[in-house]
Amino acid sequence: MLLTGAAGFIGSRIGAQLSAAGHEVVGVDVMLPAAHGDGAQPPPDVRLLDVRDADAVAEVLRGVDVVCHQAAVVGAGVNAADAPSYGSHNDFATTVLLAQMYAAGCRRLVLASSMVVYGQGRYGCPQHGIVDPVPRRRADLDAGVFDHRCPVGDEPVDWVLVDEDAPLRPRSLYAASKVAQEHYALAWAESTGGSVVALRYHNVYGPGMPRDTPYSGVAAIFRSSLEKGDAPKVFEDGGQMRDFVHVDDIAAANVAATEATGAGAAGFDAYNVCSGRPVSILDVATALCDARGGISPAVTGQYRSGDVRHIVADPAKAAQRLGFRAAVDPGAGLREFADAPLRG
């Protein structure tokens, strides 16, 4: 099988678990500086390759029966100038890969997607049921009122679990590129009779995570602050709810998905990959602080335009159809992460 992004934080763990499960893995990675640092070289078992290079992809696809596609530029993006990078490395690269898979007769794909495809998540109103809330008003945010309101009666609404049938409403460059990847893969599956499993990762963390960069997740940002002796800065009131899933569970989900594509299934299907145990952002910062000792989070009350208030996933479909259930409890995993080695 072919594994793209094989030298990355997630890809390296997937490669190890696939190999342990008996799969013969061909790993490739372009070693982007944003993910690996300037001048980084791939490990000995990973080939330097740009998935946008059709000839190179055609060569490594010889004899491959399934592709696990992890290669991507990640993070929300700093500003609009990042758009060509997302479009090129995430979307154009995926179209090249799909075209070369078709030419090679390879019809099985596991695609790394993300929770960001859901946009602002799902909310319920006690009076009107599931609603699509209005954007948060600046006056409310300035006053420290951070939760959404019902578009019908203006009542406060609360989060509910997001399942895979929720509408796809990207709110960042990265999210737009992930939705596009899913749509290309779905069209490819329908036109070729191929099998695609799209795994929508929620907040991934764990040993080997890249240090704080403009594209890092919040767990790495908090860790970097603690290493500098600074209190982690928590935006809003810290009540934002998320699902943090350990990188080893992400790898296990990819093994399950890889083996599911070999069971005669065809078509496109998407799955949340999450712990099923939601935590608040303040709880994440507190767990890291408590594990290291001597410092407490700083709840700033500040907010960032466009930030999502809550997004929490429903793990049921992956459990029922893939047999995947996260093994690492976020409480224990975050305590371990507080002192785990990072990259970069």
Same domain, 16 and 105: yes
Domain annotation covers residue 45: yes
Average pLDDT of the chain is 93
Would the pTM of this model clear 0.85, i.e. be above it?
yes
Provide the CATH number for the domain around residue 256.
3.40.50.720
Do residues 6 and 74 share a domain?
yes
The average pLDDT across 8-18 equals 97
Q: What does the pLDDT read at residue 264? A: 64
% of residues, the chain, pLDDT over 90: 83
Is the pLDDT score of 40 beyond 90? no
Is 168 among the domain residues? yes
Domain membership of residue 295 (yes or no) is no
Mean pLDDT, residues 288-296: 93
Please check whether residue 63 lies inside any domain of the structure. yes
User: What pLDDT is recorded for position 261?
Assistant: 74
- Domain with 107, as residue range(s), is 2-119+163-211+243-276+315-328
Q: Regarding beta strands 241-242 and 279-280, do their DSSP bridges make them parallel or antiparallel, or are they unpaired?
A: antiparallel
Residue 58 is assigned to a structural domain of this protein: yes
Domain total of the chain: 2
Q: 319 lies in a domain? A: yes
On whether both 33 and 179 belong to a single domain, the answer is yes
User: Is residue 3 over pLDDT 90?
Assistant: yes
Summarize the confidence of residues 215-225 as an average pLDDT.
83
Same domain, 44 and 186: yes
Asked whether residue 113 falls in the same domain as residue 135, the answer is no
pLDDT at 88 over 70: yes
**pLDDT value at 96 more than 60:** yes
Domain-embedded: residue 343: no
- Give me the mean pLDDT over the 208-212 stretch: 82
Q: Give the mean pLDDT of 84-89.
A: 95
Residues 149 and 106 in one domain: no
Mean pLDDT of 103-122: 96
Cα separation, 277 vs 112, whole angstroms: 21
212 has pLDDT over 80 = no
Q: Are residues 168 and 247 located together in one domain of the fold?
A: yes
256, 148: one domain: no
Whether residues 154 and 8 fall in one domain: no
Q: Do both 130 and 77 map to the same domain?
A: no
Read off the pLDDT of each residue in 63-72 and give the average, rounded to a whole number: 97
Amino acid 131: pLDDT: 94
140 and 169 housed in the same domain: no
Residues 99 and 132 in one domain: no
